[in-house]
């Protein structure tokens, strides 16, 4: 059915990320004080956070745990019918895990795993963020007040998951979630090294990168967006002042042309502050851009060589063979 | 059917604008030299232009004529089936006008008018821009080379049409094209003064503004986007150097929060250079923001009073009663 | 002697401003929370503040008082000898008032008044700011940590004083302090409406504007600088969120081309956040740019009409005849 | 005498750089089309160029020659008397070479060499740039029209010369020209690796870097400034489009905190596009910041490792032992 696949598609957008952190207090400090996100709620071992223009109750769920890792990621569907259609497809995939009640931020969600083991969920019923006295915006077409604190992250942008088999995860997202590949890396030996997929007009909501350490189901990074490249530069200044480890950047990726800054949050997870600019995926017949090994060797957009850790580090950390 | 209405919707995006200009040479100079757009083709009295990251052959068709006016505007649909569905609906609307062969930039298009008389068309088959030696980009995921000339406009963003009856045109776009209202102005007496509609994740592709001079089918302005607010400020510097009339701005609208600069191109049409930032419409259940008369009186986002001409001037120009 | 007059000159730079405020707690909140300045000390009714890259102990002294007003402004001289030379000249001017012990932020200072009554002082011995644990910068060539709070004002930039007789005050600053006029407004009737003077390579440290209400010794505004125009725009967003009154801007002045935002701090004083860009006064033989009445009528750089209050409001406020 | 040494000092500013290029046409294309500079004159084998806000006739003299090299650099003095004082001092240094008639851009100049052999000159009488019809600015307090072409370089900023003995050249500039060191690199073994000197409120006009290949009198790079860091990023995009080699950046230096982009112009000379921000040297008693070997190893401000060529490449190129 038309509706099921992009450019229609049943998914609305990447909705939230749950990050497990072995240093919950420090991670919380990082996301609120350094990054400028705001706490919208707390429950058990989890703290719920959001960027100032995220419309939902939360886009980040920070949960205390033994090692840094992706707890789960979630997509919101376009409607209840869309949710039902996806659940039906996922049940047939053999990778479905069943329904949850949802949590502070949203209603019933159906959980499933990618072939590589990443835990995901989809839901429709959500909680729209209600500003408090302290977070009420001056302009009512804005989710909450511009905080004027730290990097002032605007909204969740995307997530990059590591996979032992990129093609398998990509196919899974295309087949069962109706996502579309916008850019890809394919090496000379034919191996798929990376894939970027979207379910809307953003050029990507999910990236899948080859896990060079052969592990399964790990997380490379997740990303929030700011409005300008100058704010990404300021985020670098702010991270430097706070002793946050800057892994690489600021610079511009050749792939997707995202202007990026990668840091490690205190729990150990790689986190990105990015500016997508006015770049959107509007063409319904967009053909994926495929980058080859030779092109990848040229480095980032303006020639920056990718640091080695970018190719190996992820969470949970694994020993290199 | 699900597919027909936003957030699915049959329309992909606002595709191009045809501007009639009584000063074709000067208008062309403005769009190419001052704004940094590039000519992709010419035919008869028309010149075809595009921003450096517009993927289609053209997004602006500049046609010589007696007075400045909107020639027509076009939407691209998501597929041939989507086109057929829309045509069927439009035929039933009574405002359909029939098929054209298309032109240099696209295939067969179905033309129709809004209740106020604005000429529009929808099509699916298009011509993707093929870079020449001079316009080939260094990065292959970019439609063409960053020109480094003038305001370096990136892509078409939206159009704002004047209407004697805003509600009628809005209803028409919602009903027959499946567009969705994201923001609106409704005065105390209940009159609809403005409506902003989208067919994708941009917060608006089309705005409809009340024609205070009571005319029908006029054009308020159309807009191209740049990546940063700094580039909007530079566009103001560039316009000043070239003697281009700056009507108002740079400033930020309260509605939609677009950072804007309004100028008059040599033919007399109001033209906007804008930065949308990272603001997107991702929520499938977005409720339109309604602004009232009191709120409008406060002026633009940071208090700038809207200049009088912004409320009256449009093309074609009409004598004020 | 060469040394006494610009481009040599005995003055190093505008050093600090003392602002009297009838709302000391609210003014303090404004400068620290909204503007991002930091408190370096307190004494009596005064709080000492600075921008993150001001090298001295303070650049703003906030003192509680009955009405908003300029307490005094200070220049630092280039050396003790320079200070002695200036004091000698000022003693001969008839407007000298004598020595003070200095205060928390600096050593002995010689006080004097302009012909219009503005209280000024000059000193050489100063207290360099010593960062605390909380304000230590990551990079040691920076005065203190980038705060990541509010508008993150970098440093004091200039002050604009109102005068009943602009020419008299200008002549005084040129003659006794060795300052140089860089730009001026002179109307058709020959009256001097404004003068901008520098003592270094900044294009101005002090501006003198005609007091249209005929009062003497009032203050128009004082200004802090940020690195980019984007940060001025963000400052506007931040002020809007905090309910700070935005009088005019952001926009670019024609005079000096400063990119500005004018707000009223809670005590009632007009305050400016500006970006000077990379514009400097390097030519030793710079001839003052003189703007006439006709040119002033064109408005600001991109055409913004100057709001009426900009021509009349100052502190202390006076009743308009 | 006070006047002779900073913060008074007889030098006004770095005035121009003569670059010898073995590819005069391509170098000219680079500076005009890619960098946005404008030609103000031509004479013999030389072309005279300037940034849009350079007040003098030229700031760059491009001369055809066998190999890329520094032809000479020039400082303008604050007055004729200042020029005479400096000449007298230089004559006594033993490194003076005598007077020239000046050239298209300026009057009589006194030439001399640094201990390492760099050819320099000082002059006072200059030619102020007179805008043509095509380069007349809209605002009269601007040297010429904002070109809206390429990187739109605003003005000359600084030069970095390589020296076999940094300390000797530094001492020479301090002693005979009255310049002041603002930052320095001194290694554990006591060797001076770099020195940054100013003669005004810019934090540096001249940098001296250790020539690791042991050569004498070479050039590391020279630099023009733009107003914002976003424009440095755009310059990177523009260089990429034009196939200009990007050596490193954009990034921020720890030393001086300049936001930089280094490219090689077609003749082979390293060229920098920089944003100094609002950072100025206002304190008359500024103490040089000394960076040690350990601090240098940390890389640039946000951790970027300095590329190897940055430590070895200069012009004229020499074979590495």
- Distance in angstroms (rounded) separating the CA atoms of residues B220 and A89: 47
Interface test with A, best of B4, B105, B141 (most A CBs within 10 A): B141
pLDDT for A1 equals: 57
Residue C237 in this model has a pLDDT that exceeds 80: yes
- Distance in angstroms (rounded) separating the CA atoms of residues D25 and D32: 11
Asked whether the beta carbons of residue D138 and residue B230 sit closer than 8 angstroms, the reply is no
Quickly state the pLDDT bin for C153 (edges 50, 70, 90). Answer: very high
Please state, as a whole number, how many other Cβ atoms lie within 10 Å of the Cβ of residue C61.
23
pLDDT for D5 equals: 86
Looking at residues D219-233, what average pLDDT do you find? Answer: 98
Q: How close C279 gets to chain D, by Cα (Å)? A: 8
Return mean pLDDT, chain B.
96
CB of A76 less than 8 A from some CB of D: no
Which residues in chain A touch residue B284, judged by CB atoms under 8 angstroms apart? Answer: 12, 76-79
Taking CA C189 as the corner, what is the angle to CA C186 and CA C194, rounded to the nearest 5 degrees? 25
Could you say which DSSP state residue D36 is in?
-
DSSP 3-state assignment of D224? strand
Query: In terms of residues, how long is chain C?
Result: 321
Cβ atoms of residues B140 and A256 within 8 Å: no
Domain ranges of chain D: 11-297
Closest in D229, D286, D289 to C228, CB measured: D229
pLDDT for D9 equals: 92
The pTM is what? 0.98
Buried/exposed code over B71-110 (b: 16+ C-beta within 10 A; e: otherwise):
bbbbbbbbbeebbebbbebbeeeebbeeeeebbebbeebb
CB of C212 less than 8 A from some CB of A: no
Residue C1 in this model has a pLDDT that exceeds 70: no
Looking at residues B119-144, what average pLDDT do you find? Answer: 98
pLDDT below 50 — which residues of chain A?
none
Largest CA distance in chain D: 58
> C51: closest CA among C61, C69, C37, C72?
C37
Which residues in chain D touch residue C139, judged by CB atoms under 8 angstroms apart? Answer: 254, 257, 301
Asked whether the beta carbons of residue B257 and residue A8 sit closer than 8 angstroms, the reply is no
Interface test with C, best of B247, B273, B301, B303 (most C CBs within 10 A): B303
Asked whether the beta carbons of residue A77 and residue B276 sit closer than 8 angstroms, the reply is no
Asked whether the beta carbons of residue C241 and residue A138 sit closer than 8 angstroms, the reply is yes
Looking at residues C221-233, what average pLDDT do you find? Answer: 98
- Distance in angstroms (rounded) separating the CA atoms of residues C315 and A34: 38
Residue D2 in this model has a pLDDT that exceeds 70: no
> pLDDT tens-digit profile of B212-262?
999 999 999 999 999 999 999 999 999 999 999 999 999 999 999 999 999
Cβ atoms of residues A256 and A198 within 8 Å: no
pLDDT for A4 equals: 83
Return mean pLDDT, chain D.
96
Structure tokens at A278: 């006015």
- Distance in angstroms (rounded) separating the CA atoms of residues C122 and C106: 10
Asked whether the beta carbons of residue B2 and residue A3 sit closer than 8 angstroms, the reply is yes
Asked whether the beta carbons of residue C148 and residue A146 sit closer than 8 angstroms, the reply is no
Quickly state the pLDDT bin for C5 (edges 50, 70, 90). Answer: confident
Chain C from 4 to 23: CB within 8 A of any D CB: 7-9, 12-13
Which residues in chain C touch residue D282, judged by CB atoms under 8 angstroms apart? Answer: 12-13, 55, 200
> pLDDT tens-digit profile of B267-311?
999 999 999 989 999 999 999 999 999 999 999 999 999 999 999
Interface test with B, best of C264, C302, C306, C307 (most B CBs within 10 A): C302
Residue D275 CA: distances (Å) to CA of C277, D272, D318? 9, 10, 30
Q: How close A145 gets to chain C, by Cα (Å)? A: 6
Quickly state the pLDDT bin for D321 (edges 50, 70, 90). Answer: low
CB of C41 less than 8 A from some CB of D: no
Closest in D36, D138, D241 to B146, CB measured: D241
Helix-helix angle C80-93:C166-177, to 10 degrees: 140
Q: What stretches of B147-187 show up as alpha helix (H) in DSSP?
A: 166-177
Asked whether the beta carbons of residue D257 and residue C142 sit closer than 8 angstroms, the reply is yes
CB of A134 less than 8 A from some CB of C: no
Helix-helix angle D166-177:D80-93, to 10 degrees: 140
Asked whether the beta carbons of residue B148 and residue D145 sit closer than 8 angstroms, the reply is no
Strands A245-252 and A259-264: antiparallel
Quickly state the pLDDT bin for B321 (edges 50, 70, 90). Answer: low
Asked whether the beta carbons of residue A243 and residue C139 sit closer than 8 angstroms, the reply is no
Asked whether the beta carbons of residue D229 and residue A233 sit closer than 8 angstroms, the reply is yes
Chain C from 226 to 245: CB within 8 A of any A CB: 228, 230-231, 234, 237-238, 240-241, 243
DSSP string, A257-303: T-EEEEEE-TTS-EEEEEE-TT-----TTPPPEEE-HHHHHT-STTS
- Distance in angstroms (rounded) separating the CA atoms of residues B56 and B125: 11
Closest in D146, D228, D241 to B230, CB measured: D228
Asked whether the beta carbons of residue D277 and residue C183 sit closer than 8 angstroms, the reply is no
> C69: closest CA among C119, C113, C108?
C119
- Distance in angstroms (rounded) separating the CA atoms of residues A4 and B295: 41
pLDDT for B2 equals: 66
Sign of CA dihedral B20, B24, B28, B31: negative
Quickly state the pLDDT bin for D4 (edges 50, 70, 90). Answer: confident
Return mean pLDDT, chain C.
96
> pLDDT tens-digit profile of B37-48?
999 999 999 999
> pLDDT tens-digit profile of A233-265?
999 999 999 999 999 999 999 999 999 999 999
- Distance in angstroms (rounded) separating the CA atoms of residues B233 and B241: 13
> pLDDT tens-digit profile of C91-100?
999 999 999 9
- Distance in angstroms (rounded) separating the CA atoms of residues C258 and C301: 9
Quickly state the pLDDT bin for C40 (edges 50, 70, 90). Answer: very high
Interface test with C, best of D259, D282, D294, D301 (most C CBs within 10 A): D282
Asked whether the beta carbons of residue C148 and residue A238 sit closer than 8 angstroms, the reply is yes
Residue D1 in this model has a pLDDT that exceeds 70: no
CB of D258 less than 8 A from some CB of C: no
Partners of B246 in beta bridges? B263
Quickly state the pLDDT bin for D138 (edges 50, 70, 90). Answer: very high
Architecture label for domain D11-297 = Roll (3.10)
- Distance in angstroms (rounded) separating the CA atoms of residues D318 and D321: 9
- Distance in angstroms (rounded) separating the CA atoms of residues A184 and A289: 6
- Distance in angstroms (rounded) separating the CA atoms of residues A124 and A127: 10
* Long-range pairs, D166-170, Cβ under 8 A, ≥24: D166/D191, D166/D192, D166/D193, D166/D194, D166/D195, D166/D208, D166/D209, D166/D210, D167/D192, D167/D195, D168/D114, D168/D115, D168/D116, D169/D114, D169/D115, D169/D116, D169/D118, D169/D195, D169/D208, D170/D195, D170/D197, D170/D208
Which residues in chain A touch residue B255, judged by CB atoms under 8 angstroms apart? Answer: 141
Phi, psi (rounded to 5 degrees) for A170: -60, -50
Residue D193 CA: distances (Å) to CA of C42, D184, D306? 43, 8, 15
Residue D98 in this model has a pLDDT that exceeds 70: yes
> D313: closest CA among D261, D259, D248, D252?
D248
Chain B from 84 to 103: CB within 8 A of any A CB: none
Which residues in chain D touch residue A302, judged by CB atoms under 8 angstroms apart? Answer: 236, 239-240, 246, 249-250
């Amino acid at each position: 059915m038309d509706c099921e696949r992009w450019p229609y598609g049943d998914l609305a957008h990447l909705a939230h990320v749950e990050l497990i952190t072995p240093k919950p207090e420090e991670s919380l400090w990082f996301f609120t004080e350094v990054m400028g996100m705001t706490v919208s709620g707390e429950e058990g071992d989890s703290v719920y956070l959001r960027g100032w223009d995220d419309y939902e109750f939360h886009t980040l769920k920070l949960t205390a745990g033994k090692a840094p890792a992706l707890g789960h990621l979630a997509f919101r569907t376009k409607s209840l019918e869309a949710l039902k259609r996806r659940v039906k497809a996922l049940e047939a995939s053999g990778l479905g895990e069943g329904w949850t009640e949802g949590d502070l931020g949203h209603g019933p969600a159906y959980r499933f795993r990618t072939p590589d083991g990443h835990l995901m969920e989809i839901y429709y019923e959500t909680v729209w963020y209600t500003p408090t006295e302290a977070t009420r915006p001056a302009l009512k077409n804005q989710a909450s007040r511009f905080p004027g604190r730290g990097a002032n992250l605007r909204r969740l942008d995307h997530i990059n998951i590591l996979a032992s088999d990129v093609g398998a995860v990509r196919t899974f997202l295309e087949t069962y979630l109706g996502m579309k590949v916008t850019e890809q890396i394919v090496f000379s030996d034919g191996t798929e090294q990376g894939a970027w997929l979207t379910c809307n007009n953003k050029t990507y909501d999910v990236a899948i990168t080859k896990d060079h350490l052969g592990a399964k189901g790990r997380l490379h990074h997740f990303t929030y967006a700011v409005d300008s490249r100058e704010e990404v530069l300021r985020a670098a200044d702010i991270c430097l002042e706070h002793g946050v480890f800057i892994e690489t950047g600021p610079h511009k990726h050749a792939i997707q042309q995202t202007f990026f800054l990668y840091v490690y949050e205190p729990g150990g997870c790689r986190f990105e502050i990015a500016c997508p600019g006015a770049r959107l995926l509007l063409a319904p017949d967009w053909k994926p851009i495929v980058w080859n090994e030779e092109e990848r060797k040229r480095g980032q957009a303006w020639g920056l060589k990718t640091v080695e850790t970018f190719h190996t580090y992820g969470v949970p950390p694994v020993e290199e063979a």
